[in-house]
Amino acid sequence: MRTGRSFALTTLSAPIAVPFPYQLSAGEQRALSSCRRSDIAHHRLLDVLALQRGILTVGADGCVRICEPCCLVKPDRCHHCSTCRKCIPKMDHHCPWFNNCVHFGNYKFFLLTLFYAVALSVYGVATIGTHEAKAWLSASTTPSSLHLTLVSLLGAVLTFGLGSFLSAHISMLLSNETTLEDMRGPVFRNPEDSFDVGRYRNFVQVFGPRVSLWMAPVFTSIGDGVRFPTKLHPVLEVSQTRPVLADARITARDASPGVVRPARLTTDSLRGSSPTPTLPASM
């Protein structure tokens, strides 16, 4: 039952929408358009937009990531899915077996589906395989023995394949990486920063602090899907509202280089996403 529910939730859970504060305002769009001819001014303006939204990562080219089709500044760990045709918060990958993206809202269900599938495969191989092994050794086989033996072999192959896949995802879970980040690690403004805040805290971000709910197919992940504690910023603070550029001008102050610190977003500005508990301070 838990396997079926986990599979259904992985398949049917739609990703949360990127909160409104990350959308580009009309003034910001005009400002970006007006400075496209100057790479330096364009990059510095993007830095300002990221600073105002508390974004800690940049693209592989060192430039702040924006999504033109969705008209937004991409939050940390957000990627545009070419299949779903929209930006997905904390996107892991698009899975054709579920016909859905694996993302912040269903990653726990995805892991539980893999776990229960592997557990059922192991159980099937252990029970049927043991019975058939005894039958072959005692020469008391029946006409159905060959079929059951083939089923056991297929179960063993499934166990090995899904088990290896599950093992890889558990490794990424404990190091707080998505599949996309494992393929190409995130680039932080501060090279010493990382989403890896310790194995236990990494695990709790996905499965929640209540041990009794870890194996239950209910949503217990911590956070809002767009902001995450990091090694250098373990505690999330919220205090700044969404900025709007009044015009298309880039002042010397706006375009000047400097250390970009994480901005603070108001809790009210994130009402577009489902609120979830924060990490306990004792962890």
Q: What is the pLDDT of residue 239?
A: 36
Q: What's the count of helices (H) and strands (E) in the chain, helices before strands?
A: 8, 8
Backbone angles phi, psi at 201, to 5 degrees: -65, -35
| CA–CA dist 149, 167 (Å, integer) | 26
**pLDDT tens per residue, range 237-283:** 543 333 333 333 333 344 333 333 333 333 333 333 343 444 444 43
pTM of the model: 0.79
Instruction: Identify which of 280, 269, 205 has the alpha carbon closest to the alpha carbon of residue 75.
Output: 269
**For residue 136, which amino acid is it?**
W
DSSP secondary structure letter of residue 104: T
Catalytic residues: 95
> Quick check: 39 pLDDT over 80?
yes
Give the number of other Cβ atoms within 10 Å of residue 137's Cβ.
Answer: 9
- The stretches of the chain forming alpha helices (DSSP H) are 2-12, 26-34, 39-53, 107-137, 145-174, 179-183, 199-207, 252-255
Q: What angle do CA 56, 227, 23 make, to 5 degrees?
A: 85
Backbone angles phi, psi at 137, to 5 degrees: -70, -30
**pLDDT tens per residue, range 135-148:** 666 666 667 766 77
**pLDDT tens per residue, range 93-146:** 999 999 999 999 999 999 999 999 999 989 888 888 777 776 666 666 667 766
Q: What is the pLDDT of residue 139?
A: 64
